[in-house]
Structure 1
Amino acid sequence: METAIKSVGIFLLIYFSYYYVLRFIQSVFQGALSSINAGVAKFIYALSTPAHELAHLLVAILCLAKIEQVQLLPKGNRPGFIRSRVGSSMPFLISIKEFLIAIAPVIINIPLFIFIESKFVLKDKVADISRILDPRIIVSKEGIITIFLFLVLISGIAPSHEDFKGMIKGLIILSAVIFGLSFLTSRFLDMKWMNAKPILTVLLYYIELIVFVLIINAIIHYRNCFKITWIILISAIKHAFRKS
């Protein structure tokens, strides 16, 4: 029982960290970029939107959902979106499919970034992807490619509130499934095969880029750097918890 409760707790912690922390981090990044140059911020947002929506589209197709409308690029103040309708004779499967479609940018884009970065950019093992955290690599050819790849695949993966609404039922069902499986298999279930290091590296790289952008922002607005940074952080917190 204790193992099952811990498993559900860890799952929910990861989920809510994914939802709120990613929304906060992405908002800080966009806010800092906007403070430097609004045009650059809009360009990077537009650059990352297609990968976000394509991930939704791919998982929706894999879940045999009916695709109703596709908009891969933001239009005016309206972000890109994928409208799909999931059908199944079993209601709980609909909720699970909707959950998977909602978190698609994370389950597709992060592994894709790790694979491309390791295989074709660094040309090294996945376990050595932490090399991207070395500040010296930023000025190299690999570093520039890494930044571009990151901006396209990762910088826009934070979930929208619409994504959140599509997750709720699936979140409850998956929590129940995880509880049941953990309760039944706790005696022989071994999770040591899981390696979170590459995923943590991607998150730390995002934070590293944010710090770099905030430093540039502070240099440009040196007279009001603390005030502007404070405004960016407060706005990011509000955005993370805003229902929009």
Structure 2
Amino acid sequence: MAEFVHITTARASGRIRRSGIAARSHGRDGGRGVYCMPVLPSYTLTCQWVRELRRWQQGVLVAVQLRLPDADPVTVGRYGTTPRQVTAAQAVAVIRRLDDPRGYEVFVPRAVTPGEVRRVRDVPQGAGWRYLPQAHGRRPCGCCAQRGEYKGAGLRRWFPYDGPPRPKHELMANLRDAATADEIIDVLSELGRARRGGAWELAHLAEHPDPHVRDTLASVLRVYRGREARQLRQRLQVDSADDGPPDA
């Protein structure tokens, strides 16, 4: 069985557990299906589409782990190019052999059944690239999405550990110096790598005008301890509900 990860919104996770993933995305040949990526040794490369998809999707994104029969027909290729028709097992092998798999995607030309959905996991909202895989001129690494994520012990059984987390005082200094929403999200994602306290230090971000910053804060607070973290999570949930349902 070949293992893949599909990125979607957290609000869809309950429906996916019950009914699977509907074939709503358009493939290059005009058919409908589901886009995904193989589970790779690097967590960030596996979930590389999160940051780009955040530009188009409102709310927190999650990673849905799939297990598909090896012989199932799929297509594989880099976005914007003509994909190859292969089996699911071959697609995994193709992408694992690449020196740089950024921008690649697998398309399953059908719906995914509930029995093929293995689990749904939280994912750092700053993982991956944005606009273009080469936008920042460097390969992504797994260090900012590996340890300390919600239920991180399970994630480390999924993927190898790429390096120790940076100390909190260094990350808080970076957070104070952050000038853009993306820089804030990057620091928050690293703060979510380890169990922490002192959630009050992040309380000012609950009023940030960028909804992606607030969504990332809500996700990261799940690894924080104490009453302040619980109260801040509840505050963010209330604010989100007051904003009304997201646009379709």
- TM-score with structure 1 setting the length: 0.25
Q: Which structure ranks higher in relative contact order (CA pairs < 8 Å, sequence separation ≥ 6)?
A: 1
Larger CA Rg, structure 1 vs 2: 1
- TM-score with structure 2 setting the length: 0.24
Query: Comparing both structures, which one devotes a greater share of its residues to strand?
Result: 2
